[in-house]
């Protein structure tokens, strides 16, 4: 059965917990002010009527009544302005409150989601929603919805007035407008109309995505590919989009022209109908006045009707935006435990852990970790190695609860990590990623990460992470602004900032995921010396590709295709002569080959190394 969704405005207020009563008051004020904007049409008619009747009857004009209607006109205008200001103020306040509450809910909820949410594609959608959608929702709630209600009420009131005045004339006005709107709907209605609209939307989205990719991939395309081929692909999409626009315009333009002409010339329809009525009822003074009234009030119907149609589309828009908000809020929050700290040390245990990124029902499901059991004693320097895609990063991320395991358990100090509060877990773990995010803030803030730490502590951590020197050479030293619009760091420099963060955080467990991937040989050596002292006594899980960098590890775990293949020390694993020994030999051969080739080049005197 098709699910019927509640009105989008109700959904906003239901989700955002903002007073619907206050909003209703604001909308009522706005609606009343719009309704009052119709009053002068009636009062002016009454004034003209007084003058016309006096001149037809040859009597003096009833100036008292004229003044009364004039005062009513002025009063309705002043009251309308007052109500409009009050309504607008209340509706804006409600919209800001509602959106503030929605933003806070989303932020709060995002804080409860597993960290894996941020490594997926959804974070981009959330960014878009927080920036673009919220702004547009404010507009719809503060302006469009009150205007829509006001336009509806005004339309109903004018309808009642016109029908009570003269039914054939009222029917003429509404029939003309109905025909105009039916013509307009015909442009988008029907299978072919909807197809044209859907094709245009699809090709525009496709074009946007292609443009972004074209710009983002320009470097690679120029170096490895053929930029002219990429430009041709883009040109084809531009042509396609142009074709859809032409099809759309061919359909819409004549229809829109007819719609506009009919709505604007509603007066002509009233005039024709009025003349016909007067032809059959010559000398009917009341009828003359009714025709006059219809001529004055008729055009007043057009603008609220147009607003109803246009704002209706905006409301559909609000519904789509609310769907996106609800989509994020629907992501289940990660259940947290109640343990505030680890009492039993920092031994890490993987107990028969299985995990997949795909659902159980997915036919392409592949286990990222498959029945993995590992024990890393407290204070141990452990390494995770193995072929690419073996599950090393996944294992590190599961330990920090980026996701929860599907089977088995991960423990710290014998305690399931799911029993800890997230804060308690994060107090035990530091994570240094291969790709480091640098905030658009000062170097100091990027290392301190908004924690109350002294300048000395930050500098000490930077010294240990071998980044103090390059920081001092920056224009404003530790106050230099980094990130977007600021000083750009190299990959290696950014990674050393991340290591400084971890050193400063000083947690008993440190996970290093290819943390030295961007570090050159000289810096890696210096970094190791600096870190050795700081990692002393800590439980370290190092994920590495370069085996020579972990040969001193107390324990090495070798993962392949999500399975733990072997474990031991470097010499034990070499002796076992299995996967690790094989990988070690390949890396050695590669290095010797590199040394040989650079040697040959040097001998030939043509080396650029």
Ligand X SMILES: Nc1ncnc2c1ncn2[C@@H]1O[C@H](COP(=O)(O)OP(=O)(O)OP(=O)(O)O)[C@@H](O)[C@H]1O
Q: How far apart are the C-alpha atoms of 251 and 193, rounded to whole Å?
A: 8
CA distances from 300 to 13, 288, 293, 326 (A): 32, 19, 11, 39
Query: Can you give the length of the chain in residues?
Result: 609
Nearest CB to ligand X, comparing residues 29 and 369: 369
* Nearest-approach distance from CB 129 to ligand X, in angstroms: 21
What are the backbone dihedrals phi and psi of residue 420, each rounded to the nearest 5 degrees, phi first?
-85, 155
User: Residue 90 contacts by C-beta under 8 Å, 6 or more apart in sequence?
Assistant: 22, 23, 25, 26, 29
The crossing angle, in degrees rounded to 10, of helices 145-165 and 167-188 is 140
* Nearest-approach distance from CB 360 to ligand X, in angstroms: 15
Residues 466, 523 contacting (CB under 8 angstroms) = yes
* Nearest-approach distance from CB 562 to ligand X, in angstroms: 7
Q: How far apart are the C-alpha atoms of 540 and 431, rounded to whole Å?
A: 10
* Nearest-approach distance from CB 244 to ligand X, in angstroms: 34
248-253: long-range pairs with CB below 8 Å, 24+: 248/196, 248/197, 248/200, 251/187, 251/193, 251/196, 252/187
User: Residue 264 contacts by C-beta under 8 Å, 6 or more apart in sequence?
Assistant: 302
Taking residue 108's Cβ as centre, other Cβ atoms within 10 Å add up to: 11
Nearest CB to ligand X, comparing residues 119 and 204: 119
Rg value, the chain, Cα:
36
Nearest to 390 by CA among 583, 540, 568: 583
Which residues on neighbouring strands pair with residue 482, listed in sequence order? Answer: 487
Residues 413, 345 contacting (CB under 8 angstroms) = yes
Nearest CB to ligand X, comparing residues 120 and 243: 120
Nearest CB to ligand X, comparing residues 458 and 556: 556
Nearest CB to ligand X, comparing residues 392 and 468: 392
Nearest CB to ligand X, comparing residues 23 and 403: 403
* Nearest-approach distance from CB 22 to ligand X, in angstroms: 44
Sheet holding 563-568, edge to edge: 429-432, 509-513, 539-543, 381-385, 555-560, 563-568
CA distances from 541 to 353, 376, 485 (A): 17, 8, 35
* Nearest-approach distance from CB 368 to ligand X, in angstroms: 4
Half-sphere exposure of 571 (CA within 13 A, CB side): 1
* Nearest-approach distance from CB 543 to ligand X, in angstroms: 6
Residues forming contacts to ligand X in the complex (CB under 6 A) are 119-120, 357, 366, 368, 388-394
Nearest CB to ligand X, comparing residues 120 and 189: 120
Nearest CB to ligand X, comparing residues 183 and 372: 372
* Nearest-approach distance from CB 361 to ligand X, in angstroms: 16
Nearest CB to ligand X, comparing residues 221 and 566: 566
Assigned token pair, 491: 């990959």
* Nearest-approach distance from CB 538 to ligand X, in angstroms: 22
Nearest CB to ligand X, comparing residues 357 and 593: 357
Q: How far apart are the C-alpha atoms of 289 and 291, rounded to whole Å?
A: 5
Q: How far apart are the C-alpha atoms of 40 and 47, rounded to whole Å?
A: 10
Nearest CB to ligand X, comparing residues 37 and 519: 519
Q: How far apart are the C-alpha atoms of 74 and 208, rounded to whole Å?
A: 52
Nearest CB to ligand X, comparing residues 40 and 391: 391
Region of 449 (left: φ > 0; alpha: ψ -120 to 50; beta: rest) is left
Sheet holding 415-416, edge to edge: 367-376, 348-356, 407-412, 415-416
* Nearest-approach distance from CB 545 to ligand X, in angstroms: 6
Q: How far apart are the C-alpha atoms of 328 and 352, rounded to whole Å?
A: 32
Nearest CB to ligand X, comparing residues 75 and 120: 120
Taking residue 160's Cβ as centre, other Cβ atoms within 10 Å add up to: 11
* Nearest-approach distance from CB 120 to ligand X, in angstroms: 6
Using a 10 angstrom Cβ sphere, with 0-12 exposed, 13-18 middle and 19 or more buried, the burial of residue 16 is: buried
DSSP single-letter state for residue 383: E
Nearest CB to ligand X, comparing residues 388 and 571: 388
Nearest CB to ligand X, comparing residues 140 and 353: 353
Residues 564, 374 contacting (CB under 8 angstroms) = yes
Helix, strand, coil percentages for the chain (3-state, nearest 5): 65, 10, 25
């Amino acid at each position: 059965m098709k699910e019927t969704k509640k009105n989008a405005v109700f959904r906003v207020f239901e989700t955002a917990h903002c007073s619907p009563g206050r909003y209703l008051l604001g909308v009522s004020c706005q609606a009343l002010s719009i309704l009052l904007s119709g009053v002068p049409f009636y009062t002016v008619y009454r004034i003209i009527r007084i003058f016309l009747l006096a001149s037809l009857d040859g009597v003096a004009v009833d100036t008292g009544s004229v003044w009364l209607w004039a005062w009513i006109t002025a009063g309705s205008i002043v009251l309308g302005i007052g109500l409009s200001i009050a309504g607008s103020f209340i509706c804006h306040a409600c919209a800001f409150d509602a959106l503030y509450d929605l933003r806070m809910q989303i932020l709060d909820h995002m804080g409860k989601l597993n960290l894996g949410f941020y490594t997926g594609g959804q974070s981009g959608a959330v960014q878009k929603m927080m920036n673009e959608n919220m702004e547009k929702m404010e507009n719809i709630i503060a302006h469009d919805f009150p205007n829509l209600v006001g336009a509806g009420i005004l339309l109903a009131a004018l309808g009642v007035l016109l029908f009570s005045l003269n039914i054939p004339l009222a029917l003429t006005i509404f029939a003309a407008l109905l025909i105009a709107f039916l013509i307009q709907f015909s442009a988008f209605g029907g299978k072919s109309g909807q197809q044209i609209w859907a094709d245009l939307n699809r090709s525009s989205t496709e074009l946007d995505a292609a443009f972004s990719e074209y710009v983002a991939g320009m470097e690679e395309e120029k170096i490895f590919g053929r930029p002219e081929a990429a430009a041709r692909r883009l040109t084809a999409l531009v042509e396609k989009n142009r074709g859809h626009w032409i099809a759309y315009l061919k359909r819409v333009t004549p229809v829109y022209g007819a719609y506009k002409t009919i709505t604007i010339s509603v007066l002509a329809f009233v005039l024709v109908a009025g003349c016909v009525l007067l032809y059959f009822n010559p000398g009917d003074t009341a009828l003359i006045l009714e025709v006059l009234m219809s001529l004055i009030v008729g055009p007043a119907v057009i603008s609220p009707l147009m607003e109803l149609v246009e704002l209706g589309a905006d409301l559909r828009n609000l519904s789509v935006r609310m769907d996106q908000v609800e989509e994020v809020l629907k992501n289940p929050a990660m259940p947290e435990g109640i343990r505030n700290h680890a009492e039993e040390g920092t031994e890490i245990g993987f107990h028969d852990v299985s995990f997949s990124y795909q659902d159980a029902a997915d036919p392409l499901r592949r286990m990222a970790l498959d029945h993995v059991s590992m024990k890393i004693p407290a204070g141990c320097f452990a390494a995770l190695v193995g072929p690419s895609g073996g599950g090393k990063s996944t294992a590190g991320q599961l330990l920090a609860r980026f996701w929860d395991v599907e089977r088995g358990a991960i423990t710290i100090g014998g305690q399931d990590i799911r029993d800890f509060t997230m804060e308690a877990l994060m107090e035990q773990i530091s994570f240094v990623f291969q790709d480091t995010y640098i905030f658009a803030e000062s170097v100091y803030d990027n290392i301190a990460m908004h924690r109350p730490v002294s300048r000395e502590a930050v500098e000490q951590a930077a010294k240990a992470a071998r980044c103090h020197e390059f920081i001092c050479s920056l224009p404003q030293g530790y106050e230099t602004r980094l990130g977007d619009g600021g000083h750009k760091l190299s990959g290696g420099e950014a990674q050393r900032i991340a290591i400084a963060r971890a050193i400063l955080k000083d947690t008993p467990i440190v996970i290093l995921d290819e943390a030295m991937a961007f570090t050159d040989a000289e810096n890696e050596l210096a970094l190791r010396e600096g870190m050795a002292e700081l990692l002393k006594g800590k439980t370290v899980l190092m994920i590495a590709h370069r085996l020579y960098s972990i040969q001193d590890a107390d324990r090495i775990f070798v993962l392949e295709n999500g399975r733990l293949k072997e474990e031991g020390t470097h010499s034990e694993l070499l002796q076992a002569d299995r996967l690790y020994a094989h990988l070690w030999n390949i890396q050695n051969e590669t290095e010797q080959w590199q040394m040989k080739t650079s040697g040959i080049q040097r001998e030939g005197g043509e080396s650029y190394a």
